Structure formats: structure tokens, C-alpha cells
A and B are shown apart, each in its own frame.
Chain A
Amino acid sequence: MVRRLIRASLLVPLIVMLTGCWDRNELNDLALVTALALDVGEDNQIDTTIQFLLPRSQSGVGGTGGGGGGSGTSRDTAVRHAQGSNIADALSKLQRRLPRKLFWGQCKIFIFGQGVAKKGVQESVDFLTRHPQPRERSYVFVSDGRAADTLELFPPLERSSAEVLRELSDMNIGFKLTLEQLSIKLISDSKAFAIPYIHILQKSKSAEPQQTIPYIYGTAIMKGDRMIGAMSEKVMRGMMWINNEVGEYTVSFGMKGSSDGLISLKPITAKIKLVPSISGDKWKMKVKAHVEGDMVQNETAYNPAQPTVLVEMDKAFEEAVRKRIELCLNQAQHQFNADIFDFAGVYHRKFPKLWEREKQNWDQRFPQVEVETEITAHIARSGLILAPGGMPKEEVME
């Protein structure tokens, strides 16, 4: 018994030695990639740029050093780039220029430069979803101009520009898209979708040259896997209404009759339902929306405590929502002819057999779809005060 135990215990250290920790990656040997930017390089090659964290302590490990001076802005990230015939090739070349192993497990941002987006993103998505390390839930963006430029920024808040983009997306204010959603949308019925479109914010006067952030400006409209245009933020909102993605943002609208002054509502809850119907050759889509909001500012002279006034206000609210939705619909249908709302999927689900026959004609069909909006809007709460604040009683219109 004892002998057997001794023999068995001799085997244990052998197991440890044999494996040799082949999969081991010491944290000190990893370059923690925060973002990857893809641009078109020379000779139609692909230019990959990575932003990685510099594991340098802000407080200073070696005690108090010589004191700041130098560049002023603390730089927690660095950027490096390489070109190749495709992403895999470019990244392997990039690895040769980096003493630490690229680690994608923490990379939450992928940015396509406008050039790449216009050429098509499908090949890139293949690499990113095939590789085991990049996360499917990281966010995807298209940048205005070169994507690498957005990584060369050193934001005054947050450690890196990648972190800024992630936080902005997480706040649910703007539109966001993950790699997983992108790979699903690429094969969807509509063959069109939107990707958040980022701009570089103009730096404030006192800031250092690169001390600014990228922000979500609107959406890039993709058809197939190519970018065909961009929508401004205001139009993007209409798409978010239809897609039921409205988060925390403020709607401002004017009242009929009083030309001066707006009413602002926030936050908005919306329930949207798309009801498709086909009569003969006419395809119709009814957008049913039920929206609610809380009043945060009232510049008009109307008192929302008055039921009759409130009904008027609700109507104005309704009109404002309708305008936004229709503006977006109009652009998508007639300017871009891109079904970014996935009406195709709705028709497919409702009329599966008919869809099989008609799907190749969707490109011609989509601009002709008659969209009807049916909106019920309601101001749920008026905030802490009723009558317009700071206005003498006589001036308030009941």
C-alpha cells in the first residue's frame, strides 16, 4: 500500500513536467489589443492598425520620478500598423513588429475605414468570426475617413479612444452593432443594414493636438456588404424608432399655434409593431407605434395640467415622432434604396411562400412599399412642476 502510494506520487511531478505549460501566456508577454482598425493600404492591400494598452502605472511604480513635463497627456495606449494582402497576412506581419503576443480577448472595438467599407466587409468579418480570440460581442463601426486616425487619439477621459467608443455604445444613446449582429445581418433577407458611423470630435481650443475623441455621428448604410452612403444622426433616430432601439434621448417639438418655444421629452419608451400586408401587387407596411415620454422642459406658455392642453401636446408629440420616422423612411426608400429596417424579414415571416417567389425582386419592390404610420403618443409625466416655470400666472395659457 505504502509502496504503491510512493510510486504513484512519483508520477505526479512527471505530469507537471511533461505538459510544459504549452498554452501558458504570461500577462507580461501579452499585448492587450483594445481596438483594430482596417483601412485600404497601398496597392489595394489591407492596412491593419491596432491600438494596445501600455501597462504603465499612472501613479508610478518606481516612486516619484522626475515629474511630468514631456508630452503632458498621459498616454496609456500605443498604435502600430502593418499591411498585407488580407487581415491574417497583415496581422502576422504586425506581430513581427511587436515584442509581445497579440491578445484579442479584450479587444472590444473593430473599426472599418470608409475605404474598406466601400470595398466590402465580408472577408474581414470571416476572419474576425473564425479566429477564436476576438469577441463576438465587440462593437463594430465605420469611420469617416481613415479608421487608423481614430485610434491615434488620446481622450481626456477614459484610457483610450477604444474605451470611449465602448462606453458611448454602452450608454444606449446612439445606435450600436456587435460583430455577431453584423455577421447575422450580412446574410439577412434585406441585404442591407446600418453600421454606426463615427466622426472625430473637433478638439477644444485648450486641448493638445490629439486630445479628442471619436463619437457616433450617424450610420453608414450598407448594401450587400458595401457601404453606399451615410445618414446623419437625426435621420438615424428615425431608424432607431422603427427598429425599436430608442434609448435615452430627448425629443423636442413645437406646438401648433405657438411658434416660439419647444417642449422636450425624456426618456422615451416606445413599443413598435410592424404589420405587413399585401393586396394584389401593392405591398403595404403599417408601422404601429405607442410612445411615451416625460416632460423635461416646456418653453411654451401652455399648462400641461389642463387635460385639453395635454391632448394638444400629445398630438404635437405624435406629429414629431411621425416626422422623424417618415424622414428616415424617405431617405432609405428613395435615396439609398436600402432596407435597413429589415422589412424583408417581416414579409418573409408573414408570407413565407410568397416571399420565396418574390425575394429576388426585393430591390425593385422596396422603394414602392407603401408605409403607413399609426402613432399614439402620450406625455406620461410632467415633471415636478405643472405650469410653465417662472411664468406669471396671468400669462399661462390654459
Chain B
Amino acid sequence: MTAATDHNDDDVALAGEYVLGLLPADDLRGFELRLRDSSDMRRLVVEWDEYFIPLAAEIPEVAPPPAIQARVERRLFGAPRRRWPLPWQGTLAGGLIAAALIVGLMFLTPPDQPDALATHTAQIAAEDRSLLIAATLDDDTGEIRLHRTEGAARAGRSLELWLIPEGADGPISLGLLGDDEVTVLTLAPEQRAALQGAVLAVSDEPEGGSPTGAPTGEVLAVGEISPAA
């Protein structure tokens, strides 16, 4: 870091105020114009940023909610990426084949019969039963399988699934329910350990999911997670 010493005090102080976020609106506009045109001023700003940055060392790291990364990727790249490839994606290409397989599986596995591998189940239901989803969870692989038997997202809206562990501060987004009747999502390892006594909930959200990381729309359906029989 080489410090330029040929700046006048007013510019030095202005650049410092700018970096601290203290400049009043009028001064700010003027300063930003000068910044655009003057590499000297830009260098002053970088210097102040570098001077102050050691203070940020005392800010504790806090792990953000897991849903945020997916939301960033959705904003930048569109459709969400699945964390783990589904079993058939490696060998069979094409949505049609995958769709045919899902339909096939639905016939082979009646929805009311719990998945043989499931360790937990939940019936996520609206009070008036206008939305019904049977969930089976496997705390070993982290797979949650959701079978929607009643109801759907409204046009231009999405259904988002939330996990609320016992005693948690707030809901954790698990992802969006797809348009198909069956959606498969994956739980993070720390979530797998928190299934006992937890609740699953589905909320009505803007298309693509809650923009804030917490439910923003109406909670449409809830269901308690219980160990599989």
C-alpha cells in the first residue's frame, strides 16, 4: 500500500467520509462525479478502504441460511440447480424419459404407502384440505419425497417448502415444489439431524420462491414430522 501524500486535506477527508458512508446526499453526488473522472480520487478511496479493512476482522462470521445460495443462483442463472443428480440423470437423457419414469414410479408405489426406506413421514395439509402433500423423508440420505395429491401453485406463484426444527428461530427453506405431482428435495446434513419434532410447512410465494429467505406469503399447509411406522 503506497500512500500518496500530494492530496489536499479536503479531498482526503472527503474520500474518508465517502468510504465510511457518511457523505450527505449533495456532497455524495458531487464526489461520485469526481470519482468517475479522477483516478487519483479513486486511488484515495481504495487506500481508505484498505486502511479500514482490518477493523472488519472483529466482525464474527455467521453462516447464512442455506437457501440463500440457491436464491442467488436462481437470480443469476434462472432455474435452480439440483444439489445431487437424480439416479436416472446419469444414464437416461431427456425430460420425457424422466417424466415417464416418474409416472411409472407413481403406479408402482401407491402414494399412501410409505416409502420402504423412509425414516420419517409427514402429512402436509391445508385446514380445508385444498392442498395435500404426503412427505417421506430419509434421514440417512437426506432425501425428501413429496407427493402432492391435492391443490397446486396459483398461476404465476410458487409453492415453497419450509422445515421448522423444534425450538428453531425460524423456518428454513428446503426449496420449491415442482409442477409435477412428485418433487424430490435433499436435506442438508444438519437438517437431517433435526427432524424429530420438526414441522414441514408450505407457503405461497412469488414465482421462483421467497425473495427474503423467510416466508413472505400465506402459509397454506403444515404437517408434523413423525417417525415412519
> Does B bind A?
no
Q: Which residues of B contact A (CB under 8 A)?
A: none
Q: Which residues of A contact B (CB under 8 A)?
A: none
